[in-house]
Amino acid sequence: MAQSLFQAGGGGSIPTSALCLRIEEISMREAQDLNRRWHSLLPRTDLGNLLCGNMSVAYGALYDGKMYAVAILSQPIVHAMCDGKTIELRRLAICYEAPKNTASRMMAIVRRLVKKKMPHLQKIISYLAIDVHEGTIYKAAGWKPVGDITAARPQRKRGDKGRATGPLQTTSRKQRWEILL
């Protein structure tokens, strides 16, 4: 008996393609929890930091009642980028069971959802830890690297008066990426 090369219907209990995923807005607390489970480098986040300013949103990629990816966006962390026209992709975390191309699909759909939710915005920025990642996902989603590669921000020591970067930040050098909305 011949069998189809592809699964019929929805693809079974796990998605067989990133196209099976439904991207929807989720609560910031749920996004934090998913990021904590899946992010390879920065699993911890601060809710107050994510909700700062007047813009923040999180999206999850869902299939058959289970989440496979999360994107967290908020006001840019660098004060000079807080121009009211820019939002920052702070975290993108993908479950190890997610199908191939989930990250680039998530970034493409999130871009459209952000534009619809906040039409006044003109671009999304994000920072890539270049000592750990190559930017493949950003390139696949149409993002462009901008500016110079910078050293990691110094970590704040207990009692310091400067802006807290805390122990949550990576020591990797950074490259800013952006995409127009």
Distances (CA, A) of 97 to 56, 69, 90, 101, 179: 27, 10, 22, 12, 27
Considering the entire predicted model, what is its pTM?
A: 0.81
Percentage of the chain exceeding pLDDT 70: 78
Residue-level pLDDT at 129:
83
**DSSP collapsed to 3 states, 90-148:** EEEEECCCCCCCHHHHHHHHHHHHHHHHCCCCCEEEEEEECCCCCCHHHHHCCCEEEEE
Domains of the chain listed by start with CATH number:
18-180 (3.40.630.30)
What is the C-alpha separation between 165 and 155, in angstroms, rounded? 6
- Strand pairing of 144-150 and 174-180? antiparallel
Please, which pLDDT band fits residue 7 given cuts at 50, 70 and 90? very low
Q: What is the mean pLDDT of residues 100-112?
A: 93
Residue 80, pLDDT above cutoff 60: yes
Mean pLDDT lowest for which of 17-26, 110-119, 154-163?
154-163
Q: Where are the beta strands (DSSP E) in the chain?
A: 22-26, 56-63, 66-74, 86-94, 123-129, 144-150, 174-180
Return the pLDDT at 140.
87
pLDDT top residue among 153 and 36: 36
Give the model confidence (pLDDT) of 34-65 as tens digits: 988 887 666 566 776 777 777 899 999 999 99
Q: Of 5 and 35, which is predicted with more confidence?
A: 35
pLDDT of amino acid 147: 80
